[in-house]
Structure 1
C-alpha cells in the first residue's frame, strides 16, 4: 500500500473529524457525521497497522480517535453532590454492612485490653518488665500526661491524624493477608493495656481514663472499623460464596476503599479532639463527655444513615458502569 497516497486521500476526513471533535455543541446532523467519521477513521487505523504500520501515522490516528471517543462518550467529574452522596450513602452503607466484623473486633480488643491491664496492675514484676524501674516514676508522673501538651495543638493534631490514618490504612491494605491485621491489633491492645495497668497500679487510673477516653473512644472505634473491614477482605477470598475468589475479593476490596476514605474524616475529628480537648483545662467529665458525644454521633450515623442506605440497595461498591463485566453465578 502506498502510505503517502492513502494519507493524502483520507486527510480531509481526519481534519473534519478533528474539527467536529473540538466543537462544544453539535447539531443532529453533525453528531451523525462525527460518528460516521469515527468509524471510518478506526477502519483506516486498522488498515495502516496491518499494511503499512508507520509509527507517526498510527500515533496520529490513535490520538484522534481517543479524543473523539471522549467527546462522544463524555466525561464524569466529581462535584459537591458526589461528595454529599458519599457521606450519606456510600460510606455509611459500607460501615453498616460490615458492622458485625468491626463490632466483634471492638468487643474482643476491649476485653483483652482490660485483661492485660488487670494482669499488669496486679503484678509489679510484669510492670518493670515493660518499663525499667528507673523510668517508671517519670512515666507515671510526667511523661504520660506531658505527651498531650508537648507540641503546639495544631501540630499535634496533624501528627496524630496522619499516624492514625496510616494505621487504619495498613489494617485495610494488609487485610487480604489477614494475619498482619491481627498483629497490628495485638500491638495496639498491648500498649493500651500495659499503660493502663501501670497507671492504675500507681493510683493514676483516673488520669489514664481522663486522658484516653475523650479522643480514644472514637479513635479506637475507627481503628477497629479498619481492622474489621480488613479481616472482611481476607474472609472474602477464603469463603467467596457463589462468586469466584477473585470476584469476591475484588468486590469487597473496592467497597473497602470507601471506608478508607471516610475514616480519614473520622480520624481528623479524633485528632482535633486529642489536640484541643484532651489536654485542655476542662473538667474531666466535660472532656470525656465531648468524646462520648462524638462516639454516640458515629454510632447514630452508622445505624441510621447506614441502615437506610443499605435498605435502598447501596452496597458501598463503585457504580455498575465502572465495574468490569463478569459471568453470572448461581446463588
Structure 2
C-alpha cells in the first residue's frame, strides 16, 4: 500500500467534486445548457480543470483504472458542453495552446513515442537500402530529382523566386499530409501507418542520396529551420491517428461507439496543435530554408525552434494544472 499513488483518503476528498460535475452534466442533459446559471457554468469550468488533474493522478495508479475510466467519461461529456458554445477568439486560442495543449500532448506521449519509432525505423530502412542498392533511389525519387543531384544542385532553388506562392502551396501540402495521416486512424490505423512509413522512407532515401552525391550539408541546412517543426507535426498527426485507431480496435469497457467518440475527440485535440506549427514551418520553408543565409544560421534557427518546441510541450501547462488541483 505504501507504493499506491491513490489513497482512500484522497478518493474520499475528490469524489464530491466528481459527483458535483456529474450533477451539473445531468442537469444539462435533462434541460439543456440554459438550465445552468452563469455561476454554475463557471463552476463547471473550474471543476473540469480540477477533475482533469485528478485523472492524471488516477492514470499513474494501476489499481485505480476503474475510477480513471469513470472520470475520463465525465471529462469527455463536460468538454463538449464547455467548449461547444464558447466563442473562439485569439485569446482563447492562445490560452488553449499555452495551458491545455501541452497537457493533451503529454497524455498521449505513448502514441507519440510509437509514431516516432515507426518514422525513425522507416527512415533507417530507406537509408540502408539506398546505401546498399544505389539504384533504389532512382526508382523512389524519380529522374528529375536525381538529375539535379547529379548536377550537385538543390531542387529547392526555384522556391526563392516565387516564395509567397510557394509558401501557400507548402502549407496546403503539409496540412493535407498531416490530415491524411491523422484521418487514416479511421482505417484502423492502416493508412496512418502507411503515411508514417512513406514519410520515414522518403527522408531516409533523400538523406542517403544526398550523402552519395556529397550534398549532405546542403540538404540538412535546408531541412533544419522548417523541419524542426514540420517533422514533429507530422509525427504528432501520426500519433493522433494511432490514438483514434486504438479506440476502434481496443474499446475496453466502453461501448464501441463511445470508445470511438472518446478516442476521436482526444485525437482531434492532439492534432489541433500541429496547425500553428505547420503554418510557421511553411513560412520558413518558403522564405528562409532555401535562401542563401549562412549554414550556421539555419542550423541555429532550427535548433532554437526545436528547443522552444520541447520547452512548450514538456514545460507549459504544468503550473496551471497544479494550481487548479486545489479547491
Q: TM-score band (shorter)?
A: 0.5 to 0.7
Alignment of 1:1-331 (within 5 A): 76-130=86-140, 136-141=146-151, 144-147=154-157, 149=159, 151-177=161-187, 178-308=189-319
Task: Output the aligned Cα RMSD.
Answer: 2.6
Determine if contact 2:240/2:268 at 8 Å carries over to the other structure. Answer: no
Distance across 1 between alignment mates of 2:203 and 2:296: 21
Give the superposition deviation at 1:85.
2.7
Determine if contact 1:157/1:271 at 8 Å carries over to the other structure. Answer: yes
Counterpart of 2:208 in 1: which secondary structure? helix
Give the superposition deviation at 1:132.
6.3
Distance across 2 between alignment mates of 1:91 and 1:202: 41
Counterpart of 1:124 in 2: which secondary structure? coil
Determine if contact 1:148/1:278 at 8 Å carries over to the other structure. Answer: no
Counterpart of 1:219 in 2: which secondary structure? helix
Determine if contact 1:116/1:190 at 8 Å carries over to the other structure. Answer: yes
Give the superposition deviation at 1:80.
4.4
Give the superposition deviation at 1:312.
6.7
Distance across 1 between alignment mates of 2:123 and 2:255: 38
Determine if contact 2:160/2:291 at 8 Å carries over to the other structure. Answer: no
The 1:268/1:118 distance shift into structure 2, 3 A limit, reads same
Counterpart of 1:280 in 2: which secondary structure? coil
* Deviating more after overlay: 286-295 vs 243-252: 243-252
The 1:127/1:174 distance shift into structure 2, 3 A limit, reads closer
Distance across 2 between alignment mates of 1:312 and 1:245: 35
Distance across 2 between alignment mates of 1:289 and 1:281: 15
Distance across 2 between alignment mates of 1:254 and 1:134: 42
TM-score by structure 1 length?
0.65
Give the superposition deviation at 1:269.
0.9
- Residue ranges of structure 2 left out of the alignment (5+ in a row): 1-84
Give the superposition deviation at 1:306.
4.4
Query: 1:187-214 CA deviation, whole Å, 9 max, x = no partner?
Result: 2122222222211111212222121222
2:63: which partner in 1?
none
The 1:147/1:95 distance shift into structure 2, 3 A limit, reads farther
TM-score by structure 2 length?
0.66
Give the superposition deviation at 1:217.
2.6
The 1:283/1:94 distance shift into structure 2, 3 A limit, reads same
The 1:267/1:134 distance shift into structure 2, 3 A limit, reads closer
The 1:148/1:290 distance shift into structure 2, 3 A limit, reads farther
Give the superposition deviation at 1:147.
4.9
Distance across 1 between alignment mates of 2:108 and 2:321: 11
Distance across 2 between alignment mates of 1:290 and 1:209: 12
1:13: which partner in 2?
none
Query: 1:27-66 CA deviation, whole Å, 9 max, x = no partner?
Result: xxxxxxxxxxxxxxxxxxxxxxxxxxxxxxxxxxxxxxxx
Distance across 1 between alignment mates of 2:124 and 2:204: 6
Give the superposition deviation at 1:104.
2.5
Pick the structure with greater CA Rg: 1
